[in-house]
């Protein structure tokens, strides 16, 4: 299955992916209207340490702890993509407690939110990848390591 992977050596730390993600998931057509002057809730985050930057988003784990732990049964795997049914989520943050990558966080409505590979919005392919100027985030098939 195609997943989002990070090439940390190429990341410029420009945070564009965060904006593109927040815009793609805002449901608003106009980027300025969607983002300007608002607190944004992207599902991808740039981390920085000693001048190295890289993007972190949901790994769509093969055996996802968040799915097994959600107290509402709100997280499930659909064709390999780990998705949250926000109408069932009660915002208990058990998924935040268990995700080893820190890849899930409360969204604007209090329900848990994470990368769903832009399958649930109109973007059609991960907006972070599409907009990355330096191919520091890619969307591709990779083999499992032994």
Partner 1 sequence: MNGYVLIGNGVAAAGCIEGIRSVDSDTPITVISKEKHEVYSRPLISYYLEGKTTISKMNYRPKDFYKKNKVTVIYGNAVSADMKAKEVTLDNGEKIGCKAVCIAAGSEPFVPPFEGLDTVEKKFTFMTIDDTLALEKAIGKKSRVLIVGAGLIGLKCAEGIAKRVASVTVCDLADRVLSSILDNECAGVMQKHLEKNGISFMLGDTVKRFDKNNAVMKSGKKAEFDVLVLAVGVRANTQLAKDAGCDTDRGIMIDTSMKTSIDGIYAAGDCTQGFDSSTGENRVLAILPNAYMQGRCAGINMAGGSSEINDAIPMNSIGFFGLHCVSAGSCPETSEVFEEKEKNSIRRLFIKDGRLAGYIIIGDVSRAGIYTSLVREKTPLDEIDVRRMKISPSLTIYSKEIRRKKLGGVV
Ligand X SMILES: Cc1cc2nc3c(=O)[nH]c(=O)nc-3n(C[C@H](O)[C@H](O)[C@H](O)COP(=O)(O)OP(=O)(O)OC[C@H]3O[C@@H](n4cnc5c(N)ncnc54)[C@H](O)[C@@H]3O)c2cc1C
Task: Report the interface residues with partner 1, using CB under 8 A.
Answer: 3, 5-8, 47-49, 52, 54, 56, 59, 61-62, 65, 68-69, 71-73, 87-88, 90-102, 104-105, 142-145
User: Which of residues 6 and 61 has its CB atom nearest to ligand SF4 in the complex?
Assistant: 61
State the number of binding residues for ligand SF4 (CB under 6 A). 27
Binding at 114: pick from ligand X, ligand SF4, partner 1, none (beta carbon under 5-8 Å per type): ligand SF4
Binding pattern for the stretch 46-65 against ligand SF4, x by CB under 6 A and - elsewhere: ------------xxxx--xx
User: Which of residues 31 and 72 has its CB atom nearest to ligand X in the complex?
Assistant: 72
Tokens of 61: 């784990």
Q: Hunting for tokens 């992916």 — which residue is that?
A: 17
75 is an interface residue for ligand SF4 by CB under 6 A: yes
The CA distance from 71 to 1, in Å, is: 27
Q: Hunting for tokens 């509402």 — which residue is that?
A: 72
The CA distance from 82 to 34, in Å, is: 25
Alpha helices in the chain (DSSP H): 16-24, 31-35, 65-69, 94-98, 127-131
Tokens of 146: 């032994």
The residues near 91 (Cβ < 8 Å, ≥ 6 apart) are 106, 110, 111, 112
Which residues lie near ligand X (CB under 6 A)? 71, 92
Residues at the contact surface with ligand SF4, assessed by CB under 6 A: 58-61, 64-66, 70-72, 74-75, 82, 84, 89-95, 99, 101, 103-104, 112, 114
């Amino acid at each position: 299955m195609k997943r989002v992977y990070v090439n940390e050596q190429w990341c410029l730390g420009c945070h564009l992916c965060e904006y593109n993600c927040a815009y793609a998931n805002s449901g608003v057509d106009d980027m300025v209207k969607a983002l300007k002057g608002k607190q944004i809730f992207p599902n991808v985050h740039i981390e920085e340490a000693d001048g190295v930057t890289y993007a972190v988003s949901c790994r769509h784990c093969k055996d996802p702890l968040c799915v097994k732990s959600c107290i509402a049964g709100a997280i499930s795997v659909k064709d390999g993509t780990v998705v949250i049914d926000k109408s069932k989520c009660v915002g208990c943050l058990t998924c935040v407690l268990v995700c080893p990558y820190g890849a899930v966080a409360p969204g604007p409505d209090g329900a848990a939110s994470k990368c769903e590979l832009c399958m649930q919005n109109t973007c059609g392919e991960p907006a972070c990848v599409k907009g990355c100027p330096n191919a520091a985030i890619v969307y591709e098939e990779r083999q499992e390591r032994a």
